[in-house]
Amino acid sequence: MTASTRSSGALASARTFVARFKPWPVALAAATLVVACASDSDQGAVGGMSGVVAGGAFRNAKVCIDGNGNGRCDRGEASTTTDANGAFTLAGQGAVVAEIGSGIESGVARPLVFRAPAGAGGVVSAISTELAALMDANGGNFAAARSALATRLGVSESQLLADPGRIGDARAKAVLQTEIDQSLERIAEAVAEAGGSGDRVAALRNRFALDEITQVVVIYAENRGFDNLFGLFPGANGIPGVNPSSSARASEPQKDFDGATLPNLPPVWGGVTAGGQEVTIAENRTIGMPNRMFQIDAPGGFHDTHLQASQGVITRDLVHRFYNNQMQINGGKNDKFAAYSDAGGLSMGYYDGSKMKLWEVARQYTLADNFFMGAFGGSFLNHQYLVCACAPLYPNAGDPASPGHGSISAIDTDADGNFVRLTPAANSPASVLAGAPVYKKDSTLTPKDAAGNFYAVNTMQPPYQPSNNEPAKDAPHRHYADPKSATTLPPQTQATIGDLLTAKGLSWAWYGGAWNSTTAIAEGDRKFPAAVPPAAQTPNFQFHHQPFNYYAAFDPVRHPEARAAHLKDFDADFLKDVANGTLPAVSFYKPQGNLNQHAGYASVADGDAHIADVIAKLKASPQWKHMLVVVTYDENGGFYDHARVPKADRWGPGTRIPALIVSDFAKKGFVDKTQYDTASTLRFITHRWSLPVLPGLVERDKALAKNGLQPMGDLTSALDFRQKS
């Protein structure tokens, strides 16, 4: 066969292949993720090469021989333009770059750049781009990169750059499509980061060469908005009118129930401080606070009381529930935080974070200032979102034939079905200046949706001990919470990140502070103090802060091995694993209540010191050099934040929260502006180990795209694999 015949055959094959494309289901809206069949024989005329920019009809893309290896088509490099089917012929041999602009002509919503090593046989795609990034990390060994990627994906090396339409293995097809689907988002992010003159190769490598990370640790603190702790951080989008880097010149004046601007903030109903402390700031000392954000720990004292509400003082709790959070956000205006809070003006308070140890950690590593809580509302739902990107199902609510379910009913919302506003009670005050709002029914379940489903969005109890619901009196053992209690959530079966990691053979665990001791109380001979609120118990453990304890996969009777392997204790297990270098691939750590910074029962200072100490221990671990630590918060705890919340799906995202990315590979002294949410940690884990994508992640990005917004990032914008401490 002559060279020209081979060229014609390759082009014909490429045209046949790309003709099958169908639109992307996500924001890139490019084409299906299918890869052209090509090999080293796909050469053009002698000294040249033919190929295809695969994955869709990437027409009018500029393709070149990347002679200097910078990931750009520079002047003087042999180049051409793809035809209507993405096919091309180049005069030359070597690594290839394809620059795909956005717009109608290219069929791509966001600019992309594909790279292909010389060994890719003329296939230029998302997969070939990942191979090139792996080669950048391994010294340029194509065979090693191909072997490593094929092994991680669980496909054969020949399938990596093959046309999935010709692959008989349905699983391999799905795996390749998932990998390319995820890769396009990372490529678009890298191209945007590098811009017109930045290091494009490094930006791509940072999003693909993730094998350097072998342990991910997520430290999940409690109930703080970004402005509340990091609003004064230099370079961050912080307190309007105070932090010069803020995106707003002034915070939004707070409005009353009727939309009228409040002349001043409401009093802090019930007083500023939680009981039992030396510092007590009563409600009547908070009347007349100006309608703006204020510093809780100001040197001159709280408001004009001259009383010091330092970071060591525990303030009262603030309402933080599913619909309340949406009402406070008020369509993005963030102007009803004070109105729809049971703590009045306290919702507008913030701290001088420069006094915190975590502030210094943020200075050393990366602080994300565009990171949102994954779901509206409180801890219960956001812990669920962290592990499944979903809301828990509660079947048969109100059905008297279903044990326990007949006594629970849905939250009462506006009669028109609006899932934003709770229905006010008849005795609710006309103005928040006269008292906190009262609702007709603010319970735990959403109203039944069009599919007939109820979802638990406010705190419910685990079906397994430890739970705030005691076992049934006739129970043969103490492992289960009473299933007849209306507040016991039925066991959940939705897919979680734990399921995906286990299926891939990867180790993982959720470490809870006071897990062992609380479980011993719940299942032991002593009467479990079910009538005592969790925050008042000893040890201080919150039952809804262990999300996996709601899942049937960890039933203590049916699946004790899985439970023991994955639901662990901080003191007995986490500290030992950190010191011995035996942490699993993925670890979640939840501090016990008095150390998690939750207003009402924990101070800012105690949690700050504890988490900083945990980070210090992780840095001393034998595994540190290949570890990524994410410190974030479950939700805002009812505190105001000025950043506009992206509009997505019915679950969220909610108000902005702090997040720190700590690693030898984290950019140093960097404020990351990438849009993230709680599930961005799941996205990173998914991408790092090439896991299937949880449905909620797909739905979130679809909803964002529908509203013209970018998808949530996967934390890779915070990393730089060229540097190490």
CATH of the domain at 583: 3.40.720
Which range has highest mean pLDDT (82-86, 414-418, 431-435, 513-517)? 431-435
In a domain, 338, yes or no: no
292 vs 524 pLDDT, higher one:
292
Residue 230 within a domain: no
Concatenate the DSSP letters of all residues of 322-343 into one string.
HHHHHHHHGGGT---TTTT-TT
Asked which of 191, 212, 233 is the last residue of a domain, the reply is: 212
Q: Could you tell me which residue, 468 or 646, shows the higher pLDDT? A: 646
- One domain, residues 219 and 195: no
Residues 50, 178, single domain; the answer is: yes
550 band by pLDDT with thresholds 50, 70 and 90: very high
Residue 580: pLDDT over 90: yes
Q: Which helix (H) or strand (E) holds 159?
A: helix 157-160
Residue 273 β-bridge partners: 315
pLDDT at residue number 537:
55
Indicate whether 418 belongs to any domain. Answer: yes
**One domain, residues 477 and 618:** yes
Range of the domain at 96: 3-212
Residue range 25-34: mean pLDDT, rounded: 30
What whole-number distance in Å separates Cα of residue 667 and Cα of residue 673? 13
- pLDDT score, position 449: 83
Higher pLDDT, 479 or 6: 479
- For residues 619 and 663, state if they share a domain: yes
Q: Is the pLDDT of residue 709 over 90?
A: yes
CA angle 250, 420, 702 (to 5 degrees): 90
DSSP 583: -
C-alpha distances out from residue 305 to 97, 185, 280, 281, 320, Å: 65, 52, 11, 8, 27
Q: What is the mean pLDDT of residues 705-721?
A: 93
Task: State the pLDDT at residue 414.
Answer: 61
**What are residue 294's DSSP bridge partners?**
349
For residues 713 and 674, is the Cβ–Cβ distance under 8 A?
yes
For residue 400, the model assigns a pLDDT of 57
Residue 202 placed within a domain: yes
571: exposed, middle or buried (C-beta count within 10 Å: 0-12, 13-18, 19+)? middle
CB 435 within 8 A of CB 426: no
User: How far is residue 405's CA from residue 390's CA, in Å, rounded to a whole number?
Assistant: 21
Per-residue pLDDT reduced to its tens digit, 634-648: 999 999 999 999 999
- Angle (CA) 219 224 228, round 5°: 130
- Residue 420: count other Cβ atoms within 10 Å of its Cβ: 13
Residues 120 and 219 both lie in one domain? no
Q: What is the pLDDT of residue 189?
A: 87
Query: Where among 178, 212, 246 does a domain terminate?
Result: 212
Residue type, 521: I
Paired strand residues for 5:
none
Place of tokens 């203590």: 556
Both tokens of residue 122?
């003329």
Does 240 map to a domain? no
Asked whether residue 458 falls in the same domain as residue 568, the answer is yes
* pLDDT at 490 exceeding the cut of 70: yes
Please indicate, yes or no, whether residues 658 and 577 belong to a single structural domain of this protein. yes
- DSSP secondary structure, 203-230, as one string: HHHHHH-GGG--EEEEEEE-S--HHHHH
437 cis-preceded (ω within 30 degrees of 0): no
pLDDT-derived band of residue 10, with 50, 70 and 90 as boundaries? very low
333 is a domain residue = no
Assess whether 417 and 552 both reside in one domain. yes
Whether 145 has a pLDDT exceeding 80, the answer reads yes
Alpha-carbon Rg for the chain, nearest whole angstrom, is 27
Amino acid 408: pLDDT: 65
Query: In this structure, are 165 and 219 located in the same domain?
Result: no
What is the identity of the amino acid at 496? T
Residue 78 sits in the same domain as residue 219: no
Summarize pLDDT for 315-337 with one digit per residue, the tens.
Answer: 999 999 999 999 999 999 999 99
Give how far Cα 195 sits from Cα of 160, 189, 448, Å: 29, 10, 47
Q: Give DSSP secondary structure letters for 166-200.
A: G---HHHHHHHHHHHHHHHHHHHHHHHHHTTTS-H
Amino acid letter for position 537: Q
User: What's residue 85's pLDDT?
Assistant: 84
Residue 72's pLDDT band, with cuts at 50, 70 and 90, is very high
- Concatenate the DSSP letters of all residues of 18-49 into one string: HTT----SSTT-----------TT---STT-E
d(CA 547, CA 150): 33
One-letter amino acid of 76: G
| Residues contacting residue 184 through CB under 8 Å, at least 6 positions apart | 24, 26, 28, 30, 33, 55, 112, 126
89 bridge partner residues: 50
Instruction: Report the SS3 class of residue 510.
Output: strand
User: For residue 436, which of 322, 294, 265 has the smallest C-alpha distance?
Assistant: 265
Does 9 score more than 80 pLDDT? no
427, with CB counted inside 10 A (0-12, 13-18, 19+), is exposed
What confidence score (pLDDT) does residue 58 get? 80
The count of structural domains within the chain is 2
Q: What percent of the chain has pLDDT over 70?
A: 86
Q: Where is mean pLDDT largest: 446-450, 657-661, 688-692, 716-720? A: 657-661
- Maximum Cα–Cα distance for the chain, whole Å? 93
**Candidate from 2-11, 455-464, 516-525, 542-551 with smallest mean pLDDT:** 2-11
Comparing C-alpha atoms, which of 151, 221, 108, 39 is closest to residue 599?
221
Per-residue pLDDT band at 539 (split at 50, 70, 90)? low
CA distance linking residue 552 with residue 548, whole number of Å: 9
How confident is the model at residue 184, as a pLDDT?
87
**Predicted pLDDT of residue 3:** 36
Same-domain pairing of 393 and 507: yes
- Which residue would you say has higher pLDDT here, 474 or 690? 690
Q: Is 137 part of a structural domain of the chain?
A: yes
Determine the Cα–Cα distance for residues 555 and 564; give it in Å rounded to an integer: 11
> Which residue, 184, 212, 240, sits at the end of a domain?
212
Residue 6 has pLDDT above 50, yes or no: no
Give the amino acid at 208.
F
571 plus 646 within the same structural domain: yes
pLDDT (0 to 100) of residue 448:
84
Residue type, 338: A
Residue 415's pLDDT is 47
CA distance 348 to 640: 5
- The pLDDT of residue 168: 84
Residues pairing with 63 in the sheet? 80, 98
Mean pLDDT, all residues of the chain = 87
Mean pLDDT, rounded, for 150-160: 91
Look up residue 564 and give its amino acid. A
Residue 255: pLDDT band with limits 50, 70, 90: very high
Coil, helix or strand for 487? coil
pTM: 0.89
* 314 in any annotated domain: no
What's the average model confidence in pLDDT over 454-464?
95
Other beta carbons within 10 Å of 648: 23
The stretch 150-168 carries a mean pLDDT of 85
Phi, psi for 324 (deg, rounded to 5): -55, -40
The candidate with the shortest Cα–Cα distance to 384, out of 372, 397, 394, 374, is 374
For 86, 200, 362, the CA distances from 67, given in Å and listed in that order, are 21, 15, 40
What does the pLDDT average to over 581-591? 98
